[in-house]
Amino acid sequence: MCDRMNSLTIVPLTNTLVEEATSAIREIISPLSYYNEWALREEMEKYSTERLKDLAEKTPDSIFLAVLNDEIAGFCINSYDDGLIWLAWFGVRSRYRGRGIGATLLQELENSARRRRCHKIWCDTRTDNLLSQSVLARAGFSKICILSNHWYGQDFFLWEKLIYDSRP
């Protein structure tokens, strides 16, 4: 396992990787059973090749890719939100799960938050997305509330990870 992880690198999205990244993101998101059809359709539209290019050009730290053996193994999409980082999505291709890639992506996001002087990362998960909840909890995120009948009429947990205390 260690030898395979030695070739793992985390890189920002570039124009040369955008087609492959779009394909990987679709491969990871499209089979998710805990999202309804409405949610899946809109999420697929959000992460088209053109929208990913635009997001990466406007905010270079907004999309990280995990590249393993010259293939995109996972991704992390985030945005700056009033002094915080909103983690929109992170995912790992099924054939690469269980190797710590999701945790590595979250660590890179935390490093980015520090560079961007953001004191907190926050995100959501579907209440039945146990895999993501487990990865977030191991990475030091705390569940802060439940949002019932929320985005796309579904239930979500909100999570946060304090990077540093910004209070005076």
| Tens of each residue's pLDDT in the chain, 168 residues | 334 456 899 999 999 999 999 999 999 999 999 899 999 999 989 999 999 999 999 998 999 999 999 999 999 999 998 999 999 999 999 999 999 999 999 999 999 999 999 999 999 999 999 999 999 999 999 999 999 999 999 999 999 999 988 776
Predicted local distance difference test score (pLDDT) of residue 60 = 87
Name beta bridge partners: 65.
11, 75
Q: What is the pLDDT of residue 57?
A: 92
Amino acid 4: pLDDT = 46
The pTM score is 0.91
Q: Are 108 and 8 in contact (CB under 8 A)?
A: no
Using CB atoms within 10 A of its CB, is residue 94 exposed (0-12), middle (13-18) or buried (19+)?
Answer: exposed
pLDDT for residue 133: 97
Q: What is the rounded distance in angstroms from the CA atom of residue 139 to the CA atom of residue 132?
A: 10
Ordered by where they begin, the domains of the chain are: 2-162 (3.40.630.30)
